[in-house]
Amino acid sequence: NAGVTQTPKFQVLKTGQSMTLQCAQDMNHNSMYWYRQDPGMGLRLIYYSASEGTTDKGEVPNGYNVSRLNKREFSLRLESAAPSQTSVYFCASCQSLNQPQHFGDGTRLSIL
């Protein structure tokens, strides 16, 4: 079982470039999440999707967009990358909103 798979694992971008982080889960989970983790800040929720066809903003949505492509996949897009978006990004999923979440192994993103 792969669980939650994120691609890419590492990426370096220049300011102003765009890119999409991919996330897929094979656990038939309904809810999916994108977090960023920065030193001293803990995990902060960017966007989430409670179920297929819905997306909602989290704590730090500015500069990001998401797409819940289908039940398995939830992508995060940076339209115009900024150095402040340098971070480790985690995707997570769970069966329903009150359940603990399973995390992917992260994408390390650096923006120069």
Which chain residues interact with other proteins by CB under 8 A?
33, 35, 40-45, 48, 50, 58, 90, 97-98, 100-106
Cβ contacts of residue 100 below 8 Å, gap of 6+?
Answer: 94
Name which of 37 and 84 has its Cβ closer to other proteins: 37
Name which of 36 and 78 has its Cβ closer to other proteins: 36
Report the relative pairing of strands 107-111 and 10-13 from DSSP bridges: parallel
CB of 45 vs other proteins, minimal distance in Å:
6
**Paired tokens of 39:** 């030193």
CB of 42 vs other proteins, minimal distance in Å:
4
